[in-house]
Amino acid sequence: MVDDSRIMIKIAKDIIEDSGILCSLRTFLYPVEALNYIKKNKVDLVITDLVMPKMTGLEFIEIMKNYETLKDIKTFIVTSIDDAAKSSQAFELGASDYITKPYNDYEFLARVKTAIREINLKKELAVQLKKTKEEHHKLYIANEQLRVTQGQLIQKEKLAGIGQLAAGVAHEINNPLGFILSNFETLEGYISFIQELMKKYDALNLSDDLIKDFKNENDYEFIVEDIYEIIEDTSGGLNRVKEIVKSLRSFSRIDAFKEFARYDLNEGIEETLIIAKNEYKYIAEIEKDFGELPNIEVYVGEVNQVILNI
């Protein structure tokens, strides 16, 4: 409370204290003193006289409203001057109420109590708003964590699904490949037998012009040379397919995405290079220089995926 009249301060103070309102009331005779106090202390309500020496109540309120930290303080103007222009000016500057003197105890007390209720409600609202913002922030963080976790789970499921599909394809290829490799070894033995038989026949040096003409017409010597190249190339191709299937089955193990397992990094790189060869064979050459590394415990499927991405 700011008033240059000690009598008016005592009257207002007695009204407030006799009412039993719980508050800490500070009084000042001069606005400058009050302003210095308000700048340094938390104040909820200012009741100021209108006409005072050196600084009027309107000037006092105007200065307060220019401070960011003081502009929201609730302010009352009290005066013995019944001037509509002054009251309008007070409200334009941000005053909350305009009370005339001498005080009507009940009216004055009612307005002070109403102001205190509004102040307390505003404080409670600010506390609830802060709690709401904190809860909203917690929910936002939780939602972001859930979104990231969901993305990771989806990615794991995708990788596991791809792994399952690849393992199935590798299994389907592996069965007929086993028959082909087995039959090819048998066929290679048969061809070697036939070639050896032909050599023994030629060693007999029998005069059979019909057979000689047939061999010459069909370029027998070239066929003999070429057949072994074909066997070598085919054998290399089949073994290449075998290695790819082996790497594919190892690379795409279903359990590799779900649990830790012993892992040989060199072998993982080797198998991944086999899987990825089609991606780099026309644009790059890979030089391997593996060192001796201990096995490590990892999610095998995820590490293979990292190597593949690199």
Closest CA to 24 of 49, 1, 51, 54: 1
Q: How far apart are CA 65 and CA 72, in angstroms?
A: 8
Helix segments in 20-56, DSSP class H: 31-40
Q: Is 2 helix (H, G, I), strand (E, B) or coil?
A: strand
Question: Tokens representing 46?
Answer: 């200012």
Q: Looking at the chain, how many residues does it have?
A: 310
pTM of the model: 0.44
Strand arrangement of the beta sheet that strand 97-100 belongs to? 45-49, 74-79, 97-100
What is the C-alpha radius of gyration for the chain, rounded to an integer number of angstroms? 49
Q: How far is CA 223 from CA 206, 209, 227, 236, in A?
A: 22, 20, 6, 20
Full pLDDT tens readout for the chain, 310 residues: 998 888 888 888 888 888 878 788 888 988 889 889 998 988 989 988 888 888 888 888 888 888 888 888 888 888 877 777 777 777 777 787 878 788 788 888 888 888 888 888 888 888 899 899 989 988 889 888 888 888 777 777 766 666 666 666 676 777 777 778 888 888 888 888 887 877 777 777 766 677 777 777 777 777 777 887 888 888 888 888 887 777 776 666 545 556 788 889 998 898 888 878 878 888 999 999 999 999 999 888 788 888 888 8
Q: How far apart are CA 98 and CA 115, in angstroms?
A: 12
Q: Are 24 and 116 in contact (CB under 8 A)?
A: no
Q: How far apart are CA 272 and CA 266, in angstroms?
A: 10
User: CATH class for domain 6-103?
Assistant: alpha beta
The residues spanned by each domain of the chain are 6-103, 155-309
